[in-house]
Every structure is written in structure tokens, then in C-alpha cells.
Amino acid sequence: MTLLQDITSPADLRGLDRARDGELCAEIREFLVQAVAESGGHLGPNLGMVELTVALHRVFESPRDVLLFDVGHQAYVHKLLTGRARRFGSLRSAGGLSGYPSRAESDHDVIENSHASTVLSYADGMAKAFALRGDHDRKLAAVVGDGGLTGGLAWEALNNIGAAPERPMVIVLNDNGRSYRPTAGALARHLDAIGTRSADRSDFFESLGIAYLGAVDGHDCAAVEEALWTAVRMNRPVVVHCLTKKGHGYAPAAQDAEDRWHAVGRFDAVTGAAERPGTPSWTEIFADEMLAVAAERPEVVGVTAAMTVPVGLHKFAAKFPDRVYDVGISEQHAVASAAGLAIAGLRPVVAIYSTFLARAFDQVLMDVALHRLPVVFVLDRAGVTGPDGPSHHGMWDLSWLSLVPGLRVAAPRDTAQLRLLLRDALDRDDGPTVLRFPKGQARPGIEPVGQLRGLDVLRSPKAPDVLLAAAGPMAAACVEAAGLLAVQGVEATVVDPRWVVPVPDALVELARTHPLTVTVEDNIGTGGFGERLGRSVAAAGATTRVANLSLPTRFLEPGGRDELLHACGLSAPRIAEQVLAWTKATTGAGGGG
């Protein structure tokens, strides 16, 4: 790594003989493969960005000139060229290097976006600010993927950018033909046509008032650099269309037709063999059950926003390709089109990451709930997701979904409940339902010791001191915490309500029979399950104290799920510790068990 180790800033790159760019790019690829093999991460997109990023840093003098990346997971090479190579050993770990741009890490990281289709709006705003402040000597480049252009926000930005030819910016279209899977929609077909010169090169972007250059081989440093300089000299909004290939230069990733190398766990850098967990993931269990449901019920259809495999609709799509709709990276359209599917008599299942559904709040509220439509939302990556960090932790959904009239939320504690609750949700026809579950491998199921009007009772001592009400996968930690409390003389009832929005009446009644009720959820406390139960208990005139253990209202750093839950007080020992303190405060001594 003789060249890469000497690059501590983009200035070092600009001082390197261009004849050695090929050698540098080879070193970067080798470094990325070795680093991501140890940590996991977004390998495929970054292998496709090597030459393109080198050319960007030759033309644009960051941080005075501004480089923006959409989506941020394609910025690993940018991090290497801005002096962060030595930190890659801590990639996506607690206290380590973020897998996305991070303003705290470097002045070269201007935005921290890791949700798609946003960068052109940032760029439009910054171009306006540069013009207003007279910063005419600062250049601006926004890198956006062809998948990112399927999002409605990107089109809104293009509409504004093209209307102001006096505000220069370079839009680098990194066209690899894929999001997670092949890019969906008519725009993808058009980009393919102009990329292969089988269609008029200027009929789309130039009709909006944005100049077009391309298509350029995105794996040719000199060609990309020449196109970028041409764009800069045009002094107006310009699209530079670069054709790249995900996984370029590393055979296992380059030959990946299923995009399994888009984001990977740890793997063998030589063979490409991935580490295989011993148990299936929540997503895999959902994928199997969704396929079974689809075979039984022809009215069930699936909707995904460019993430068929990550959200577990791929098996359904393989068996019934006409019944799964990939709408591209356009969550608002996904939800509104699902409303149309439901109105027309089908039963749509919108499978999406928890944080991504927040982009479609208005559609959930006004297009689905207002019409009382039986749309099922399946939220993968709910709660603490782990190494992807603050943009991917699904820790707000219980709060904002509880605002939606008529909407119900189910939180399965294990994969057996996931299967049952999916079918339960599909059987409800009086409004929208939500099924939320975490990222990662599923743990052994917990059999109830009894049931109480729809609640699963997981532990039921004769003389309880406290009621632990667990939201979904927090049930396992609550059962373990109850065992730890019993050693201290405190007896705990543990219950899984299964449906957490709205608060079940049976749970309110059960709470009234305990001097202390503690809710445990992997959501923020404000507006969450515990706060709503507390209001319901108070409204019922009960004197029981309701306390809540939840995630803090702040953006959580990357890290392992168990590690982060423990840090937030949601591991079994931390739950037991806090409950013991509250029990002593309630009784004035120890437990009464």
C-alpha cells in the first residue's frame, strides 16, 4: 500500500502523478476488500466508486469545494482520500469510523445523509447560499446514483435546479443500473438507452434546463476527470453521466447478480465466503411466511421501495413475480400506491425499513388511515439495528405511528409470533396494521405460561411486586431480568401484549393489580408504548405507578445491538437493576415476594 499510505489529504492525491492513478485505484480496492472483510459494510457500491472518487478529488478541492454523496454508503473511497485509512479497522463499530459521511469525523464530510434521493436538494440549497453570499469561487458537486433518481425528492430538486441556470453545480450521475436490485422504472430504461447511445442524449435533462455530458466510463480516471473539468467550465448546472459497475475489480462482488455484496457481513477476503450465522434472521422467517401466505391468498400482494431482498419479499417475488411491485426508492409512492391496491380489492403488504417509512408519514395518515384501508406495513430494522448507526435505528416508529387514528401495531417477541401476527394483521380489514421486528438473528422462542384476553403471560408469580410489560423482542430480556429480581426477593409478572398500539384494555386492567408496572421497549420514551400505557392507567383511575425503560431521545451511534441495548439500560441486568431501585422506592424497602 505504498501510494495509499502516503495520501493523508486530497492535496496529496493532486500531487500524485496521474500515470499512477491505476496503481492507486488497485491499492484502494485491495484495502477496501480487506477492511470490509473484517468489519462488514457496503462493499459493492464502493468498489464501483474508486476511479470516480479519485477524479472528483483531483477536480474539486475539498473542503473548500463541496462534495456531497447520495447515498452516503458510497463514500468509503472519499474517506480514504481524506486521511481516514488508519481508522478503517474500527469501521461501523461503537466509537469507530461511521459507515456513512460524518461531520464529526472530518471537514470533508458536509452532510450525514444515508437515506437516498436527498443530495440534490442539499445541493440546490447550497448553490442558492453560495450565490447569495457571493461565494463564486467555490465549486459544488453532488454524486447521486441512478437508484437515487427514482425518489420523488430528487425530481423536485431537479425541477428547481434546472430553473436557475445561473447557479452552477455538477451533478455526477453514478449509473450502475442498480439500487439493491436492478433499478426500477421508466427512468432506468431511459438512462440505459442514453448510456448505450440508442436514444437522444439530451431529451431528458436538457429539457429541464440542465446540461448533459456523457455517457462516461466511470472506471477511467482520465475520462471522468476530463468530463468533470468540462462541466465546471460550463458554469451552469450540468449532469455528468458516469457508467460504473458495482463490485468492480473484485470477482465475487462483480459477479453478484443478486446484490448480496451491496452490504455484507464479515467474509473471507480471498474466497469471498461469508460467515454464516447458526440461526435464521427475522427477515428470513418473514420471507418464508410471506411466501406461504401468498400461496394461500391470491389477493395478497407485496410492495417494496427498491429493497426486495433486504426486506424479505424476494421469495414471494420469485414464485409470484406479477404480485410484487418494486417502485424504486420512493417510499411515499409505495404507500400511496398500496392505498390504490387496497381500494381496488387487494391486500397489500408494504415491506420497508422502519426509518424509511417515516418519509411517508403523510401517506400513511391521509391516504391509508383516513380511508381505513387494510394495508399491512411490515417494518424491518425496528429498534436498535446495530452498525449502520443513527440513520437506520428504527427507534421512532411506535411514537409517530401511535398518532395515526385506527392504526394497530404488532410487536412479535420471537419468530413464531412473527408468523402468527403476520396472519393476524392480514385478517384485519378495518384499517391499517403494522408488524415491526428488529434486524439480526432470531433467538429461541418463549412459550407463554398463560393468556389473558389476548396478552401472553410469560411469568406469573403468586404474589407479584411488579409487572414487566415487554414490547416485542424485549420480552426475552424481561424474562431474564425477572429471574435476577427473584434472587433479590422481588417477584415480577412478565407479559407480552403482542399488539402495542393501541394499548390493550387487558394490559391496563392487569397493571391496576400491581403496585408498580414497568414497560420495556426498543423505541424512544416520548410518545412510545410506556408513555401511552401510563396515560391509559391514569385515565382508568388506577394508583399503580407506571415507569418506562426505553431508548434515549438522541441519535444513537453505531455498535452491536446487544451492546447498545445494554448501554441504554435495556439488557436484563440493567432492567433488573432499575426495577429493583424503583421497587424499593415504591415499597419503602425490598420486594414483598
Binding-site sequence positions for Mg(2+): 146, 176
At position 567, the amino acid (one-letter code) is A
The alpha carbon of residue 234 and the mean position of all alpha carbons in its chain are separated, in whole angstroms, by: 37
Please tell me the chain's helix, strand, coil percentages from 3-state DSSP, rounded to the nearest 5: 40, 20, 40
What is the rounded distance in angstroms from the CA atom of residue 238 to the CA atom of residue 161? 10
Active site residue 79: no
Query: Catalytic: which of 225, 289, 331, 491?
Result: 331
- The grid cell for 419 is 408468523
Query: Catalytic: which of 58, 92, 246, 436?
Result: 246
Strand 492-496 relative to strand 466-470: parallel, antiparallel, unpaired? parallel
Question: What are the binding residues for thiamine diphosphate?
Answer: 73, 114-116, 147-148, 176, 250, 331
Q: 3-state SS of 107-162?
A: CCCCCCCCCCCCHHHHHHHHHHHHHHHCCCCCCEEEEEECCHHHCHHHHHHHHHHH
What is the rounded distance in angstroms from the CA atom of residue 419 to the CA atom of residue 306? 24
Question: What are the binding residues?
Answer: 73, 114-116, 146-148, 176, 250, 331
Which secondary-structure segment (H or E) carries 286? helix 282-296
Query: Catalytic: which of 359, 419, 439, 459?
Result: 359
Strand 492-496 relative to strand 455-459: parallel, antiparallel, unpaired? antiparallel
> In this structure, what DSSP letter does residue 488 have?
T
What is the rounded distance in angstroms from the CA atom of residue 12 to the CA atom of residue 534? 59
Active site residue 233: no
- Cell 466508486, residue located: 49
φ, ψ for residue 442, nearest 5 deg: -75, 145
The sign of the CA dihedral 203, 207, 212, 218 is negative
Q: Which of 179-213 are b and which e, b meaning 16 or more Cβ less than 10 Å from the residue's Cβ?
A: bbbebbbebbeebbebbeeeeebeebbeebebbbb
Q: Among 181, 169, 175, which residue's Cα sits nearest to residue 194?
A: 175
Active site residue 359: yes
The sign of the CA dihedral 25, 49, 276, 89 is positive
DSSP 185-240: SHHHHHHHHHHTTSS-TTSSTGGGT-EEEEEEETT-HHHHHHHHHHHHHHTSEEEE
Task: Let me know: does 517 contact 544? Beta carbons within 8 Å.
Answer: yes
229: left (phi over 0), alpha (psi -120 to 50) or beta: alpha
**C-alpha angle 361/366/368, rounded to 5°?**
90
Q: Which residues are the active-site residues?
A: 246, 331, 359
